[in-house]
Structure 1
Amino acid sequence: MYMKIKQLKEQGFKIRRIARKLGVSRTTVYKYLEKSPEEITEWMASTKTRVRKLDPYEMLIHTWLSEHPDLSASQIHDWLKERFPKLVVGDSTVRSYVKDLRNKYDIPKTEPKRVYQAIPDPPMGEQAQVDFGETKQKTSQGKVIKLYFISFVLSHSRYKYVEWLDRPFTTKDVIQAHEHVFQYYGGIPYELVYDQDSLLVVSENAGDLILTSEFQAYRDERKLKFFICRKADPESKGRIENVVGFVKKNFARNRVFQHIDKWNDDCLAWLERTGNGNVHNTTKKRPAEVFKLEKQHLRPITKKISITSIASSITRTVRKDNTIMYESNRYSVPLGTYEINKEVIIEVTDGNRLVIREQSDGPIIADHLISTEKGKLIQATQHMRDRSKGIPAYIATVSEGFEDKETATAFLEEIQQRYPRYVRDQLKMVLKASQSVDQAIRNEALSECVKRGLYSATEFRDVVAFVQRQHPSDSDQTAASEEIKTLHYVDPALLNTKAETRELDRYLNVLKEGVTV
């Protein structure tokens, strides 16, 4: 290493180029250049005889590596800290020591290897593979922005298509890209192979895949046949994985971004010139030449589909702390938005604004400036609960329903003193109980609570129910009388009929005269 660094420096290489070429840090290059050959010799000799910090644990680490050859240095570091809490050692020290032990005792790191098998190319027009990618590019102003692309490749001819955006793709963008690639190919492949992207697939569902509503509608309209790869299985669509890497390394790397339209135009020119124009390493043919034959085997486009009605939607699940995750940051939504498995719709507008809605066509519930950092909490002021200002306003609102507002306010403030932690729940219960009855009952219930020293929302609710039972309304009485029914039906008019009565003297006179009535 010392001789290589010296030789490269004498050849005129700069420190950064030397470090990059040899795969070491610039600090290491500076350290070696500062030493003379004699100093390097002495230093190397000292490293062979010095005692290393992990030497007392050599046999223990050797035992772990012998029993578990697939152990990583970070696992060994964790096991050492678990068994020896007082041991303080850096990650790099453990990595270096484990590497030396593997070499010393010939214990190579074993990892389970997947067995691959070459698969013949499908027939012409049979299959296309689809995948997404992203890159970071420098702009003409010297800034760094993130670009996103979707790529397609015909599995037989390797004929490619790429489309870029300067913001994350939505379902509508994906559908639009499909329409563009079908026009570019002049036909539709009989099968499309996808990864399990959230823009397309909602759930794996044990094989019975559930697609997003927009993409399912598009699939039915175009009568597309899908094959969705299993999670964490990029090898099952190796052709498109190679295309994504090819686009990043051959087209995008070190290219300066000016405008998204020009970027897409340049990419189409690159596809014609290089992506589809060069000889493919595997097939040893030019994709553009093979595509001339494959194009004839594609399913024809019989109609043009309008996608203007398809909603542009990306969903995110609301977390318990009333936030959503986007690009490794947390963005707040109004308190109370969280429900189990609740999803909201997010949109990226103007390239740097994150708009959140509960429904795709509903009102905006949150609007944030997108952060370029990672692991940050972006929280709007109106989404934070100001308890010092909120409770007095809440008390004023509840007391408005009572005739004696001063007594009501004092009553509610006493509840706040007794239940500071649950004051919002208490006030909510008082408000609900008072709104369920007329003002006279709620006023009487308030007086009874104050008179008897009952300062609790549950007690106020019970008193309201008691007072209501003591003062049934006319409507309640009418309703009760209507519920009474006789055993045998009798005309209600007869129940109110009174028999005609006569004076007793008239009957006595009749008897005296002997007249039969």
Structure 2
Amino acid sequence: TTVRVADGTPGKECQVDFARLGLIYDPVQGRRRVAHALIFTAVYSRHMFIWLTFSQTLEAVIAGCEAAWRFFGGVFGVLVPDNLSPVIASADAVNPTFTTGWLDYAQHAGFATDPARVRSPKDKPRVERMVQYVRGNFFAGEDFADLADAQVRAEAWCRSTAGLRLHGTTAARPAEVFAEQEAGRLLAPPERPYDVPIFKQVKVHKDFHVEVGKALYSVPGAYIGRHLLARADGALVKLFDGGRLVKTHPRQSAGGRSTDRADLPEHRAAYAMRDIDALIRAAHRAGLNVGIYAERHFDDSLPWTRMRQVYRLLGLVRRYGAGPVEAACGKALELDVLSVSKISSMLAAGTEHVPIPPPRPAAAGAGRFARDPAEFNPARRAHLTLLGSAEAPERSS
């Protein structure tokens, strides 16, 4: 036996189903492709909307829903879809599991989902009866330029032919019943269009980053080695651990990186971020001369190439203390010697406090190795050369 189910409250329920139509030209691929119709049917008024697509992905279903809300002027409180793979992750007659993407969109739009059971077309009879009607009355025998042309004509067909027909069961025109009794009861459409996100399971690597859409995003070190759920839309990337929000980053293009300094170990953050100012501040905390010495090292066209020298200088502060390094840097600055290796040698020898000897005064007479200016005279050099040649036989004898 068959029991007819009541239509329910006006503006409350809408049944949804995919239907295979036929071939439509796709200018992107330059060939004819199979087109599908996502059919929305208001349960109370039987007013309907068709969304045409070449695919049955989550993006296609959400795009159809967004177009339906614009067509109807609002959102139905309950959607009754078939067991579409973008919507249902695990089918069950009592407790079905929805995909993460569909749950996210349903929360955004504000409707509930009551899916039909597997192989139970009577759970959504209003939309099931419309499949053959769409195929025979709208699509059959028509010639469409492309999918966009077919979509424009489909919406016009829904408003006029399908919307103004005299329905066999209700004995009324669906568009008129919808306008009179359902349109004012729909939920308000979302204020902003839905940006379809990417959902992905990601692993936190040893470098404190995860990869989403070929871009890197930092995560606190406590999550290294764990798997998180990433939600990435056009603006933000959100990382969740068991439903709890862990981190939020601005979306980066492929090849980009977003790193929060707070996620990295403090002793490695400056090097990873090439934060020269942080190293200079650390050097100044050890002493004035140490800070000036670090600044002198960074006075270069490629300052980050000098970071290892300053890191070594700060290491000497931790090893010998700030006082000895301050004295050694002061002596090196006085002599204008810019070498951390020299600072290390002074500290190892304990000579950082030995005063610098004053320069020796120049000798009053000629120096030991001073040369006679006449030796630079070309004629004098030639004479000495000849003289040496003449004396050579005597020396050899």
TM range (shorter): 0.3 to 0.5
Q: Kindly indicate which of the two structures has a greater share of residues assigned to strand.
A: 2
Question: TM-score with structure 2 length normalisation?
Answer: 0.47
Question: TM-score with structure 1 length normalisation?
Answer: 0.36
- Structure number with greater CO (CA < 8 Å, separation at least 6) is 2
Q: Kindly indicate which of the two structures has a greater share of residues assigned to helix.
A: 1
